[in-house]
């Protein structure tokens, strides 16, 4: 049946906020499912601050997070509230305040009143501003204003048993409401970080973008690896050959004094951040990308909020009592998310990244075992070694089809293609020089030293 519009009383404690364009009317899309016999599914939206001020709404949100098949700590209300506190773009307009969009089961209550039931799916939007220069790497003095989908996904239960609602249908309903909000607010874009091609949201984005929007993935999709831990310890480690397992054991014997500590409690977060930040100053990630763990007020608040919610699960890996590697992660419902990792470069000979990951997996296979260990987007050799489930993902943008935003994103696609070709050419030239140098060295008689690049050949 087509969606209906339900008008709710404005003084209801759980009523949705004013719809964009009609500040005095409160609306929500309602989907009727005759097969349920006693209920409907309603897509509604509220200002984030209104939800955070209502204990009952927060309880429904947390309940959905714990039941969701794609639970993600980033979407816990405490984390979202803390993230918003430190959010860099905070417009004054009520049109651009954070929104919570959710699908709720309604059923008849006493005396014919509407019964507000459990939430079946949820998305959170934060306002986002981005410069054309950042997108295109060109000196264009233009800023685009749009929306950021928190966590890059829509929380959902696998199936709404009350209304026999499949996850994909629920996701499409929420995404339709998101797209409508972006359109009504005249946003230039919707940013969805690291969207997995196997997620129902991917299909909704591709099929429901419509004539008003176009879909861009400027940097393309990248491999995404997960570990399915349902087979238990024996089932997982048996995927490796005996030669590989023996190689792991030899590396472990080289480092008998190693120790792994799992950090989950809020009171341990400051100590963890202090150690991880010190290690982070001496990692290749910091040299290439900048300091990853800053242990600043934002880090302390963000990770503290996740720990208070009982979703923080991170690790310190030590040699002779000295922390030399760390892994930042969180676990909600059935999934552990691997967020940040680093090891002190002075200890590289011990293979700390590899050994820490082995120790972490052994811990997870014994204590509070998740179904999935999600490495997140991006390919790497160690992910290919340990992963046993592969898909692909990429940061996806829903962009207004006509106007300045579309032109900037098309420019970004062209520039990124040129940059990728340039990177391939540099890699080719580097490899060619390496091979030429190796071939030249093979032709040099023993005992004859070739001049280096800064020596005079004469």
Q: Which residues contact 172 (CB under 8 A, 6 or more apart)?
A: 200, 203, 204, 207, 208
pLDDT at 59 (0 to 100): 95
- What is the per-residue pLDDT for 282? 93
User: Where residue 445 falls among pLDDT bands split at 50, 70, 90?
Assistant: low
Q: Tens digit of pLDDT for each residue in 348-386?
A: 999 999 999 999 999 999 999 999 999 999 899 999 999
Does 3.40.630.30 match the CATH number of domain 249-370? yes
Q: Phi first, then psi: what are they for 408, rounded to 5°?
A: -65, -40
Long-range contacts of 107-113 (CB under 8 A, 24+ apart): 107/38, 107/39, 107/40, 107/162, 108/38, 108/39
Tell me which CATH code domain 40-224+394-417 carries: 3.40.630.30
Quick: pLDDT tens for 136-154. 889 989 999 999 999 999 9
Is the pLDDT at 74 greater than 70? The verdict is yes
Q: Where in the chain is the domain with CATH 3.40.630.30?
A: 40-224+394-417, 249-370
165 falls in which pLDDT band (50, 70, 90)? low
3-state secondary structure 223-266: EEEEEECCCHHHHHHCCCCHHHHHHHHHHHHCCCCEEEEEECCH
pLDDT tens digits for range 205-216: 999 988 899 999
pTM above 0.85, yes or no: no
């Amino acid at each position: 049946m087509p969606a209906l519009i339900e008008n709710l009383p404005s003084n209801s404690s759980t009523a949705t906020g004013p719809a964009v364009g009609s500040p005095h009317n409160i609306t929500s899309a309602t989907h009727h499912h005759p097969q349920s016999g006693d209920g409907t599914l309603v897509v509604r939206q509220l200002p984030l601050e209104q939800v955070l001020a209502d204990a009952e709404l927060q309880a429904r949100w947390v309940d959905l997070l714990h039941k969701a098949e794609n639970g993600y700590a980033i979407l816990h209300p405490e984390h979202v509230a803390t993230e918003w506190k430190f959010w860099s773009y905070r417009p004054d307009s009520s049109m651009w305040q954070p929104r919570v969009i959710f699908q709720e089961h309604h059923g008849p209550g006493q005396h014919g009143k509407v019964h507000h039931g459990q939430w079946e799916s949820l998305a959170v939007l934060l306002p986002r501003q981005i410069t054309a220069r950042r997108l295109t790497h060109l000196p264009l003095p233009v800023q685009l204003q749009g929306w950021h989908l928190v966590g890059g996904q829509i929380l959902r239960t696998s199936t709404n048993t009350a209304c026999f609602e499949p996850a994909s249908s629920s996701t499409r309903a929420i995404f339709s409401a998101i797209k409508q909000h972006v359109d009504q607010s005249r946003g230039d874009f919707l940013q969805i970080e690291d969207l997995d091609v196997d997620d129902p949201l991917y299909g909704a984005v591709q099929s429901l973008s419509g004539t008003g929007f176009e879909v861009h993935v400027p940097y393309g999709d990248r491999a995404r690896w997960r570990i399915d831990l349902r087979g238990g310890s024996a089932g997982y480690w048996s995927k490796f050959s005996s030669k590989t397992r023996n190689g792991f054991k030899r590396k472990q014997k080289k480092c008998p004094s190693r120790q792994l500590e799992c950090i989950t409690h809020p009171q341990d977060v400051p100590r963890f951040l202090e150690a991880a930040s010190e290690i982070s100053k001496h990692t290749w990630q910091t040299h290439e990308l900048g300091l990853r763990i800053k242990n600043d007020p934002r880090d302390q608040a963000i990770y503290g909020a996740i720990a208070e919610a009982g979703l923080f699960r991170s690790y310190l890996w030590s040699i002779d009592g000295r922390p030399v590697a760390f892994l930042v992660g969180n676990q909600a419902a059935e999934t552990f998310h691997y967020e940040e990792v680093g090891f002190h470069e002075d200890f590289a000979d011990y293979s700390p990244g590899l050994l820490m990951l082995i120790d972490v997996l052994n811990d997870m296979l014994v204590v509070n075992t998740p179904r999935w260990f999600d490495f997140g987007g991006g390919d790497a050799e160690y992910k290919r070694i340990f992963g046993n489930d592969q898909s692909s993902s990429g940061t996806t943008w829903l962009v207004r089809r006509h106007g300045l935003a579309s032109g900037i994103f098309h420019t970004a696609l062209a520039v990124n293609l040129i940059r990728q070709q340039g990177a391939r050419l540099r890699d080719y030239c580097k490899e060619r020089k390496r091979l030429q140098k190796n071939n030249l060295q093979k032709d040099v008689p023993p005992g004859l030293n070739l001049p280096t690049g800064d020596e005079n050949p004469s």
